[in-house]
Structure formats: C-alpha cells, structure tokens
Amino acid sequence: MREILNQAIAKRQKALSEFDSKQLMKMAGIPVSRNYLAKSKEEALDYAQKLGFPVVLKGCSDTLTHKTELGMVKLKLKTKEDVANAYDEITGKGIPLDGVLVQEWLDGDNREFVLGSIKDPQFGPCVMFGLGGVFTEALQDVSFRVAPITSIDAYEMMDELRTKKLLGPFRGSPAVDKEMLARALVGLSELINTYEEIAEIDINPIIINGDKPVAVDALVILKQ
Amino acid sequence: MIESLFNPGSVAVVGASEVPLKWGTYIASNILDGKFNGRFYPVNPNVPEVFGYKTYPSLLDIPEPVDLVFITTPSKTIMHILQDCIEKGITNIVMITSGFSETGKEGAMLENDIVALAQSRGLHIVGPNTMGIVNTHCSLYATGTITRPKPGGISIIAQSGNLGFQILEWARSQNIGISKFVGSGNEAVLKIEDYLEYYKSDSETKVILMYIEGIDDGKSFVEIAKNTSLKKPIIALKAGRTEIGSKAAASHTGALAGSYSVFKGVVQQTGIVLAESPKELLSLSAAFDSFPLPKGNRIGIVTLGGGWGVITADECVERGLLIPELPQSIVEELDKRLPPFWSRGNPVDLVGQPDFQIFKDAVELMVANDAFDVVIVLGIIGAKVFALRAAESILNLGKMEKSIYDDFMKSLNVLEKEFLDRLTELMAIYNKPIVTVSFSKSFEDETIHDCGGRFKCVIYDTPEEAVLCVAKMYNYYNYVTKRSMVYA
C-alpha cells in the first residue's frame, strides 16, 4: 500500500487512478470488481478473454474525472469486436491515459451503496456509509464515524440508514451480506487511520451481485 | 489530575471586592454566601477587608497554602499574578478574566503566553473568560452569576456562560441535584475532554451534561467519551447544527460531510445521548438522573383516557419502542375491578376513573409483569385540578365553606404525593422505570418527586417528552450492553 501511495506522491499526483485506487481498496479488505490495466489493444483482448465476456472498458488515469461524461466508460461489451472498438474509441480521444481498464461485468440488482472517507477538521479521518448511485447527494442518506471503527460501529452505521430496508431481502434479491460490508468498513477505517497522506476516498457505487457487495469504482484523493 | 481543583480546602480570590457590578464581588460574595466549606482569602491591595475578611495585597502575602485561585482582575495583570501563583506553589487557577482570544489578535497572543507558561509549569487553568466552577459537595459556589442548586449526581460542562447558567438555574428551580459545574471558557489550557475525564472518574458524578460549541482535539475527545459512556451517561447539546460542510471538499463524501453529520456519527460511536434543544437536555438529564435504565423496549401504558393512550403508543412505535399485548393474567385481575366495557388491551384505559387506588394496582400489575420493561402512567397526576376547579366554582357560588375546600385540596395533594411515593417504591422493587405524564400541572407543582429513595419520579408535561426520554435511555442501555459484552 505504501508503495502505491509513495509512487503517486513522487509524481505529484492529486489522486490515484481508478486502477491504483481499487488495488488499495482490495488490500484494505474491500471487495472490488476484478480488473486489469491494458496497455495495448491486444492486452485488452487477452484480459477480456481471461475475465470472460461481457466486460467493461474504462479509460484510466489519475487526472481523469467525469469519465462517463467524456465517453470513457463502455459497458457490457459482449464480443472481441466490441472490445476492440471500445478500446479504439477510448484511446482515440486524445486524452493522456495510463492505459485502459478491463473490468469484469457484474449484474447488479439496482441496489447501490457508497463507502467513503474524509478528514474532518475536528475529528480527523472519518468513514462514511450510505445509499449510493445517482441519488447519493439528493437523498443524503449517509452515516459517519471517526476512524478507526469496530465491527459493532459498522453494523450500527448500516442500521442508521433511513433506507436500511434495502440491505434486507428486497424485491426478489437476497439480503446483502452485511458481514462483508462490515469488514469493508472496518478495513477502510484502518486504512485512513494509518495512511495520513490519504485525504478523501469515494467508493461509489458498491453494487450488490447476488448477495455480495462489490465496488465497481473507486477514487482515492491525496493530501496536497 | 484536576480533582484538587474541584475540591479545594482553601481558595483565594484575586480582585475580591464589595463594590457592586464587579466580577470580583460576584465571585467572592457567592463563595461566602454559599457557605464554602474551606478557608477564604481575598486579595486586593486597595481595601483592608472584604465582607469582613482581611485582604492581602498579593497572593504571596497569604501566610497559609492556597489550593485554588480565582482571578478576576483585568487581562494585563494576569502574567504577573501567574508568576505569584508559581512562586507560591499554586497550580489550580480559575481565570474569570476576559479579554483574550475571544477579542482578537492581541488577546490571542496573551493567551498563547499563558498556555506556554501553564505547560512549562504544570498549571491547571480553567478559562480564561469563564463564568466559574461549582462543587456542591464542598459547598463551593463560585460562578459570577449566582444560582445555587442543591447537591446531587449531575455534573455539567458548559462551553457557554449563559447556557451554563440557564442549566444551573433550571436545576435549582426544579430541585434537581447537581454535583459539579464548570464553564470551560476559552479552554486555553484545560479542555472539554479534561473535564470529561475527571467526571468519568469522579464518584459523586452519576450523569454528565455537556453543552458543546466546538472541540479542538476530536480524536482524544472520542476516546475519552467512549470510555466514559461505558461507566455513566453523557448527555450533550451541540450548537452549530446547520453549519455546512467544508466547501473545499473534493469528493462526494466530502460534500456530504457537514460538520453536524460527522458529529452525529461521533455521538453514535461514543454513546453520547444527543439532545436537540436546551429543553430536551434538561428533561433527558432529569430522566437519566431519576430512573433505573430500561432493560428492554416493551412499554406498558396506563391511562386515564383513551386518546392520550393512543397518541403515546404512536410515539413509542415511531421511536422504536414496542407496545406488547396485555397479558391474560392482568386482564383477569382488572376484570374484577373495572366496568365490563373496559378495553382489555395495552394501553390500559382506566375508563376515566381518577381513582388513585385503581391506578396503583394497575401500575403494579404492569411493572411486576415480565411482559413490560417500562410503564408510562398518563393523566392521574394533575387530575386533581379538575376536581378542584369544580369545588372552586361551588365555593365561588357560595355553596361551600372555604375550610372544606381547603381540606379537599390538602387531601388531594396528599393522595397525589402518596401515589408518587408508591411509584418510587415500585421502581426500586422492580428496577424498571415508571414514567408519569401530568394532565395539568399548576405552577407550584413539582417536576421531580424525590422522596429520598434510590429513584425519583419525573412528571412530564407531554407524552412525547416522556417517550423521547424512555427511547433515549433504552438506546443508551443498548450501547453499553452491546459493548460490554465485547469488552467484558
């Protein structure tokens, strides 16, 4: 973890790329979607085959924000041809990239959550859990705790959401694996409590695949 | 470490005076008129005596040791007086004086000098810009605004002078016992978390009350608050609910993190009982100070009329409390005493019979039963008002002797008192809270009924206030039990 952060700091990055952010999250115990960073079209095709179709391709760089708006995210690519075309489109925009992220496609069930962290001026690093996806900021259904937290705290955070019913069995989907979410929250809290160079983290969305929470995007912002 | 600050054997007041409208006069007269159990030394070079006590030109002239010094003289005199403290070996200081960081740059620089001196010499300084401290157990009432609540189990930390006074004055007027009070002022040296740590270990403190505006060292506050909550409840009112989050936030998480939403998380994490208003702060502190903790969330309701029972049941459900069905055994018992049309359910509606004996029996049946963790009693308290008003009308119309009316009033008061006495006994026997809501409280009626036992009755004005207190006590109980299972 230290290595990823040190390299980014040495390069004076403001943030980690999605690939590096997810690496860090995975090491902290947060379930993330499987992905590879392809440096060429051939690599992208190889990785897609390794992951199994369909896949997702995303332009990857530490300076890239608003990926979707820039047309840098190509979802549910079902064939080699789709992957090749998507690769060309992403790399053809003239935006400098570290590479192209090839990510497994996971079927979600419309339930989306968010994990995150901030540095509060009074209380220091804090973790957040809440309702994720496109309605995150409109509904503001979130819960904070000062890092580090215990697993009791993590369960209480989930229980605090107004929309906590979404974590139970919902419209034919099974109850979310809360233990996995609790471990993710505890892991995230330990990460931000240990690495003081991390300013903020957004893990949004966390989708629910079967009953398993999986982060399909992540952003680590570094302290300036 | 600050135990001696709150329990001095002798105090000196620098700037003590008899001239009205001076802080030195307020503090000195409050200490003396409050009958402090210790020695008192006024320091004032300009007059020979203050309130009959010989004055000393400086601290160094006092022939005996001094445990605690109050400083009320202007800020420019402070550094000199602190040097005298050091020379005399005094480490406990309450700095009433204002004119420091709250006034601007120059004041802030002076405050920094004080902090540096305090750190190098190990001085414990309350304030500056504080309204003072109280320890009722040694009868030390040393606040600038004078109010003297009786000794009890609630200790207070107030980051605002006037709110602190309001809390103390309320306690006095409601006959609620206070242990310690500190107005923390600018918190240049001693911080909110230092007082919290002291109250945690203070055996006279049973419940802690805080009015919070800001916290400097959030991390240490969280640690201390967590450990304190496992030992005794902390009830807090926080100012600045509506302040918006850091605008510089670069992430979505940052945009969601208003300082109050983070504080709400801190509250959950530390077990602090959050009050949403000064009134709530007071009713919660009365509740925690008076009742045994509810060991569950199943509520039995006994009411003098249907409507109130239903409203109270709604309030309970909305706050996560349960209204279980009335056990058959209680139905059978009450069948013997109530008219056949009674509801036979929880809430138990005693069909408008303002009869203390039936209420006593019904409450005891409920509180003794394993089906309930808390009993809420609605409307028998205060029902006397209606009987009295009717009697008053007859009296006014000349058809009742005044002496008969007076006896009637007295007998109703006795009945009400006996009823409340019985409730406190039942609480002690069954170790469950019995919460009463008054139908109509007259001005002189008590809010807290204390007959000297382990528990007290709190008489609430409204069902929602009563339910809120029960719900928050239950949440606190839950916080502690969940964690003590892990840490035990």
Q: Domain extents for chain A? A: 2-31+108-222, 35-104
- Closest to B443 (Cα-Cα) out of B223, B207, B174, B210: B174
B239 in A contact zone (CB under 8 Å): no
B264 in A contact zone (CB under 8 Å): yes
Is residue B2 within 8 A of residue B194, CB to CB? The reply is yes
Q: Report whether pLDDT(B410) > 80.
A: yes
Q: Out of 1.10.760.10, 1.20.210.10, 3.40.50.1820, 3.30.1490.20, which CATH number does the structure's domain A35-104 have?
A: 3.30.1490.20
**Mutate: best of B191, B223, B251, partner A, most A CBs <10 A:** B251
Q: Give the C-alpha separation, B99 to A224, whole Å.
A: 36
Which residue of chain A is at minimal alpha-carbon distance from B214? A122
Measure the N-to-C terminal CA separation of chain B; round to a whole number of Å. 27
pLDDT band at B487; cut points 50, 70, 90: low
More confident residue, B254 or B400: B400
Q: Give the C-alpha separation, B319 to B471, whole Å.
A: 6
Q: Domain coordinates of chain B in residue numbers?
A: 3-289, 293-479
Q: Give the C-alpha separation, B210 to B278, whole Å.
A: 11
Q: Report whether pLDDT(A56) > 90.
A: yes
**Mutate: best of B223, B226, B253, partner A, most A CBs <10 A:** B253
- Closest to B349 (Cα-Cα) out of B333, B362, B336: B362
| pLDDT at residue B245 in the model | 42
Which residue of chain A is at minimal alpha-carbon distance from B213? A122
**A126–B265 C-beta distance less than 8 A:** yes
Name the strand (E) or helix (H) holding A196: none
Residue B257 is nearest to which of A126, A153, A219, comparing CB atoms?
A126
* Residues of chain A contacting residue B482, judged by C-beta atoms under 8 Å apart: 152
| pLDDT at residue B243 in the model | 53
Name the strand (E) or helix (H) holding B220: helix B218-229
Residue B218 is nearest to which of A118, A146, A204, comparing CB atoms?
A146
Q: Do you find a cis peptide bond into A148, omega within 30 degrees of 0? A: yes
* Helix intervals (H) in B271-355: 278-290, 306-318, 328-335
Fold of B3-289: Rossmann fold (3.40.50)
* Residues of chain B contacting residue A185, judged by C-beta atoms under 8 Å apart: none
- Closest to B15 (Cα-Cα) out of B7, B6, B24: B24
Which residue of chain B is at minimal alpha-carbon distance from A205? B252
pLDDT band at B250; cut points 50, 70, 90: low
* Residues of chain B contacting residue A116, judged by C-beta atoms under 8 Å apart: 251-253, 256
Q: Across residues B48-64, what is the average pLDDT?
A: 97
Q: Out of 3.10.20.600, 3.90.320.10, 3.30.470.20, 3.40.50.720, which CATH number does the structure's domain A2-31+108-222 have?
A: 3.30.470.20
Task: Write out pLDDT tens, residues B137-185.
Answer: 999 999 999 999 999 999 999 998 888 999 999 889 888 899 999 999 9
Domains B3-289 and B293-479 share a fold: yes
* Residues of chain A contacting residue B269, judged by C-beta atoms under 8 Å apart: 145-146, 149, 153
CATH 3.40.50.280 fits B293-479, yes or no: no
According to DSSP, residue B399 is labeled: -
Task: Write out pLDDT tens, residues A78-107.
Answer: 999 999 999 999 999 888 999 999 999 998
Q: Give the C-alpha separation, A86 to A47, whole Å.
A: 14
Which residue of chain A is at minimal alpha-carbon distance from B218? A123
**A160–B268 C-beta distance less than 8 A:** yes
Q: Report whether pLDDT(B248) > 50.
A: no
Tell me what percent of the residues of chain A surpass a pLDDT of 70. Answer: 100
| pLDDT at residue B476 in the model | 97
Is residue B213 within 8 A of residue B240, CB to CB? The reply is yes
Is residue B71 within 8 A of residue B78, CB to CB? The reply is yes
Is residue B293 within 8 A of residue B273, CB to CB? The reply is no
How many helices (DSSP H) and strands (DSSP E) are in chain B? 16, 20
B255 in A contact zone (CB under 8 Å): yes
